[in-house]
Structure 1
Amino acid sequence: MAIDDLLDEHEQSERVLQWLRNNGAGLIGGIALGLAAIGGWKWWEHRGEQQGMENASHYQAALDAIASKDKQAEAKVKALGGGTYGALASLELARMQVDAKQNDAAIATLRGIKVEDPAIAQIVNQRLARLLIEAKQADAALKLVNNAASPSAIEVRGDAQFALGQLEQARASYSQAMTKLDVASPQRRLLELKLTEVGGTSAKPEAKS
Structure 2
Amino acid sequence: MSFDVLDEHEQGELVQKWLRENAMAIATGIALGLVLIFGWQQWKVHRAGQGAAAAAQYQALTDAVEAKKPDEALKVADSLRKEFPSSTYAVLAALQQADIAIGKNDLATAASALDWARQNAGLDSLKALLDLRSARVKLAQGDADAALKLIDALPKGDYAALAGELRGDALLKLGRTDEARTAYQEALSQVSDAAAQGRGVLQMKLDDLGGPAAAASVAVPPAPSAEKPAS
Shorter-chain TM-score above 0.5: yes
Matching residue of 1:142: 148
Query: Which residue identity does 1:109 align to in structure 2?
Result: A
Q: How does 1:107-186 map to 2 (within 5 A)?
A: 107-113=108-114, 114=116, 115=118, 116=121, 117-148=123-154, 149=156, 150-182=160-192, 184=194, 186=196
Q: Secondary structure at the match of 1:103?
A: coil
Gaps (5+ residues) in structure 2? 1-5, 214-231
Instruction: Show the counterpart of 2:36.
Output: 37
* Counterpart mapping for 1:17-36 below 5 A: 17-36=16-35
Matches within 5 A, 1:62-73: 62-68=61-67, 69=69, 71-73=71-73
Structure 1 residue 102: Cα displacement: 1.1
- Residue 206 of structure 1 is matched in structure 2 by none
1:89 aligns with 2:93: yes
1:103 counterpart = 2:109 = no
Aligned to 1:55: 54
CA distance in 2, matches of 1:131, 1:78: 21
Task: Report the AA paired with residue 191 of structure 2.
Answer: L
What is the rounded CA distance, in whole Å, between the counterparts of 1:140 and 1:12 in structure 2?
Answer: 77
Deviation at 1:97, TM superposition (A): 4.5
Deviations 1:48-107 (A, max 9, x none): 111111222222223333333153432321222244222212323333444xx4122x55
Q: What amino acid maps onto 1:164 in structure 2?
A: L
Aligned to 2:211: 200
Q: Secondary structure at the match of 1:80?
A: helix
Cα offset, 1:123, TM superposition: 2.3
Residue 76 (structure 1) aligns with: 76
Shift of 1:17: 2.0
Give me the whole-angstrom Cα distance separating, in 2, the residues matched to 1:196 and 1:134: 22
Q: Report the Cα offset of residue 173 of structure 1.
A: 0.9
Shift of 1:185: 5.5
TM-score (norm: length of structure 2): 0.70
1-structure distance, mates of 2:145, 2:7 = 91
| Contact 1:155–1:177, Cα closer than 8 Å, also in 2 | yes
**Matched AA of 2:147:** A
Residues matched between the structures, number: 193
Equivalent residues of 2:167, 2:183 under 8 A apart: yes
Normalising by structure 1, we get a TM-score of: 0.76
User: Where does structure 1 differ by over 4 angstroms across 4 or more consecutive aligned residues?
Assistant: 134-137
CA contact (8 A) 1:66 1:93 kept: no
The RMSD of aligned alpha carbons is 2.7
Change in Cα spacing, 1:86 to 1:107, as seen in structure 2 (3 Å) is: farther
Q: 1:129 to 1:14 in 2, by over 3 A?
A: closer
The Cα shift of 1:35 comes to 1.3
Per-residue CA distance 1:106-129 (angstroms, 9 max, x = gap): 552243232333322332332343
Measured in 2, the distance between the counterparts of 1:132 and 1:13 equals 79
Gaps of 5+ in 1: 1-6, 203-209
- Measured in 2, the distance between the counterparts of 1:160 and 1:126 equals 12
Instruction: Name the CA distance, whole Å, in 1 between partners of 2:199 and 2:71.
Output: 39
**Which amino acid in 2 is paired with 1:103?**
N
